[in-house]
Amino acid sequence: MPSMTLSPRRAVTVGALAVAAALAAGHLVAGIISPNASPFLAVGNTAIDLTPAAVKDFAIRTFGTYDKVVLLGGMGLVLVVIAVAAGLMSRKGPVPGIVVAILLGGTGIAAVLARPDLSLLAVLAPIASLVSGTAVFYWLHRLRPTPASGRRRFLFVSAGVIAAGVGGQLLATRDVSGSRAAVGDLTPASPAPPIPPDADFGTPRFITSNRDFYRVDTALTVPQLRAEDYALRIHGAVDKELLLSFGDIRRLPLVERTITLTCVSNEVGGPYMSTSNFIGVPLREILAEAGVKPGADQLFSTSVDGWTAGTPVADVVDRGLLAIGMNGEPLPVEHGFPARMVVPGLYGFVSATKWVVDMELTTFAAKKAYWLNRGWAERAPIKTQSRIDAPSGFARVRAGKVLITGTAWAQTRGIAKVEVRANNGPWIPARLAAEVNVDTWRMWRAELDLSPGLHSVECRATDKAGYTQTDQRVPPIPDGATGWHSTTFTAEA
Ligand SMILES: Nc1nc2c(c(=O)[nH]1)N[C@H]1C(S)=C(S)[C@@H](COP(=O)(O)O)O[C@H]1N2
Ligand SMILES: [Mo]
């Protein structure tokens, strides 16, 4: 019966609207229960955890902070293709489309069940997706309506999709921005010394604004954790287990420390480092209250979304911070609100747990953190490195005296010297900006006399422990890149 066959256009619309309805219904229910239960995000987050480390490193390197946008976009594209195919396969009857809807819903259910950060209740979100996707598909498909009643039905579903999607999004984020605003400005009892003007050459600015601070994490959507709901559990090899609320932490004497955070994924010359005035409580005090038993060498921290890091207890006790603020404000949500760890001198993946809710005192022998199972190192102190910030690669500058500017860092040791050279010529010492403290980067500048033509300029730093950067290039994996940064540009007459 040819009249029972849907036109290709209608078939595609039915498929697309059914998938959109499934996503929106799941998002709405997730907004009520737990934002990360949104099936699309749960599938994405599971994909991130299952992705081989090499691919993940490639994605971080290639797309930077946009790696997740690229992943979500790719998943969206795949879904569009599936929706179109499901529609077209179902022109003669709804069964193929319903099978596809159930398979997609099942994928969402499996992904939500596999997430370490979600409770069993969260499975209601992908179930809502499965049910509404299947129902909408069947309902739009079943009748062969008159054009007018068909259009009404499509409009009705479209409006429902938009309302549920927007509603879910509002529910997911409203609470936390309100909670963060209610925390208000943070005033440390012991503020960091002001940055001396001669520490900041402005290339880049010494203190990174909260908005410009680099971001690296595995979270597809930023975990939404209200300060009112926050609890940090400290347990394991301790004399006394602690459970700290946000209020408990805030009431302790707050200190402020200027610290440069660095990501191990940084290639030589890469951008994944920033400096902030972190406000928080020295972890030494909290651990003293708990009483660490002898033999515990690892502080194993877990975020609300199930990410983990293992940090040497000695480093945590020496200089670890439980941070609740950056540059006078509560932590931005994407940087760990309400609380995170910061340990100067260690790459972020072994120390800087955002949205931290659990600290277990244990041993390195007993527990392996997230990135260890993916080929990265167990111990990762930040390596002495330097970077040329200007001129940028392939820039055109005026020949003659050319200003070279950059940054150098060797957290916990401090920078003693930076040298630059052009075209494998002699090393020339750069002028160092004032040191803020050994846990921050240090700006430098040098003037080179360059004739017209193409030039290749390199830099290398020496730290206060006497170590000079090796020219041997190694990749970021397993414990940080080495090698001299170089930049090639043209000097014009
Ligand atoms: N919960 C959680 N915390 C995390 C990560 C993560 O993936 N999840 N990534 C770590 C890494 S690899 C780095 S470099 C720092 C980056 O912190 P930032 O995003 O505030 O710059 O956070 C660390 N803390
Ligand atoms: Mo990192």
Question: Which CATH number fits the domain that encloses residue 425?
Answer: 2.60.40.650
Residue 3, in any domain of the structure: no
Residue 205 has pLDDT above 70, yes or no: yes
For residue 126, the surrounding DSSP H or E stretch is: helix 124-142
Residue 290, in any domain of the structure: yes
Are the C-beta atoms of residues 411 and 464 closer than 8 Å to each other?
no
* 97 shares a domain with 203: no
By residue range, what is the domain housing residue 422?
385-492
Give this prediction's pTM: 0.80
Residue 380, in any domain of the structure: no
Residue 391, in any domain of the structure: yes
Residue 363 has pLDDT above 50, yes or no: yes
Residue percentage of the chain with pLDDT more than 90: 68
* Any ligand 1 atom below 6 A from CB of 216: yes
* 416 shares a domain with 368: no
Tell which atom from ligand 1 comes closest to the C-alpha of 261.
Answer: 21
Tell which atom from ligand 1 comes closest to the C-alpha of 274.
Answer: 21
* 357 shares a domain with 249: yes
Quote the pLDDT of residue 145: 56
CA distance 432 to 448: 15
Which amino acid is residue 169, in one-letter code? Answer: Q
Residue 295, in any domain of the structure: yes
Instruction: Give Dmax over CA atoms of the chain in angstroms.
Output: 86
Residue percentage of the chain with pLDDT more than 70: 98
Neighbours of 175 (CB within 10 A): 17
- At 260-300, the pLDDT tens digits run 999 999 999 999 999 999 999 999 999 999 999 999 999 99
Domain boundary residue, one of 343, 374, 405: 374
* 13 shares a domain with 145: yes
Residue 191, in any domain of the structure: no
* Any ligand 1 atom below 6 A from CB of 335: yes
* 225 shares a domain with 364: yes
* Any ligand 1 atom below 6 A from CB of 214: yes
Domain boundary residue, one of 374, 399, 425: 374
* 309 shares a domain with 205: yes
Average pLDDT over residues 152-156: 84
* 148 shares a domain with 218: no
Domain boundary residue, one of 140, 173, 206: 173
Work out the burial of residue 52: count CB atoms within 10 Å of its CB; fewer than 13 is exposed, 13-18 middle, 19 or more buried. exposed
Residue 1 has pLDDT above 70, yes or no: no
* 441 shares a domain with 310: no
Which amino acid is residue 170, in one-letter code? Answer: L
Q: Please tell me the distance between residue 69's alpha carbon and the centre of ligand 1 in angstroms.
A: 17
Residue 183, in any domain of the structure: no
Residue 478, in any domain of the structure: yes
* 431 shares a domain with 329: no
For the CA of 479, the nearest ligand: 2
Pocket test for ligand 1, best of 56, 57, 215, 217 (most atoms within 8 A of CB): 217
* 145 shares a domain with 49: yes
Three-class DSSP labels, 177-215: HHHHHHHCCCCCCECCCCCCHHHCCCCCCCCCCCCCCCC
* 20 shares a domain with 169: yes
Give the count of domains, the chain: 3
* 149 shares a domain with 127: yes
Of the two residues 205 and 224, the one the predictor is more confident about is: 205
Measured in degrees and rounded to the nearest 5, phi and psi for residue 249 equal: -70, -45
Are the C-beta atoms of residues 406 and 386 closer than 8 Å to each other?
yes
Residue 92 has pLDDT above 90, yes or no: no
Quote the pLDDT of residue 144: 61
Residue 2 has pLDDT above 70, yes or no: no
Q: Please tell me the distance between residue 372's alpha carbon and the centre of ligand 2 in angstroms.
A: 13
Average pLDDT over residues 450-473: 97
Q: How far is CA 304 from the centre of its chain?
A: 14
- At 126-136, the pLDDT tens digits run 999 999 999 98
Are the C-beta atoms of residues 461 and 408 closer than 8 Å to each other?
yes
* Any ligand 1 atom below 6 A from CB of 261: yes
CATH number at residue 352: 3.90.420.10
> If pLDDT is split at 50, 70 and 90, which confidence band does 152 have?
confident
